[in-house]
Homo-oligomer: A and B are copies of this chain.
Amino acid sequence: MANLLFLLPILALSLSPVFVAYASTLQDFCVTNPIGQGNSVCKDPKLVEANDFFFSGLHIAGNTTNPVGSKVTPVFASQLPGLNTLGISLARVDIAPWGVNPPHTHPRATEIFTILEGTVEVGFITSNPENRHFWKVLHKGDVFVFPVGLIHYQRNIGYDNVVAIAALSSQNPGAITIGNAVFGATPNIASEVLVKAFQLDKNTINYLHSKF
B-contacting residues of A (Cβ < 8 Å)?
Answer: 1-3, 5-6, 8-13, 15-30, 33, 37-46, 48-51, 53-60, 67-69, 75, 80, 82-83, 85-90, 98-100, 102-105, 107-110, 112, 114, 116, 121, 123-128, 130-136, 138-151, 153, 155, 165, 167-172, 174-190, 192-194, 196-200, 204, 208, 211
CA distance A15 to B69 in the complex (A): 42
Q: How many copies are assembled? A: 6
Please tell me which one of the listed residues B27, B147, B176 contacts residue A19 in the complex, with CB atoms under 8 A apart. Answer: B27
Are B185's CB and A127's CB within 8 A? no
A49 with B134, Cβ < 8 A, contacts A103-B193, A105-B105, A142-B55 known: yes
Known: A13-B39, A15-B44. 16 other contacts (CB 8 A): A1-B3, A8-B38, A9-B38, A12-B33, A15-B45, A24-B170, A54-B144, A88-B112, A98-B196, A100-B192, A103-B189, A132-B185, A151-B181, A153-B193, A167-B167, A178-B182
**In the assembled complex, how far is the CB of residue A101 from the closest CB belonging to chain B, in whole angstroms?**
9
**In the assembled complex, how far is the CB of residue A18 from the closest CB belonging to chain B, in whole angstroms?**
5
Q: Which of chain B's residues have a CB closer than 8 A to the CB of A180?
A: 128, 131
Nearest residue (CB) in B for A110 is B86
Are B198's CB and A179's CB within 8 A? yes
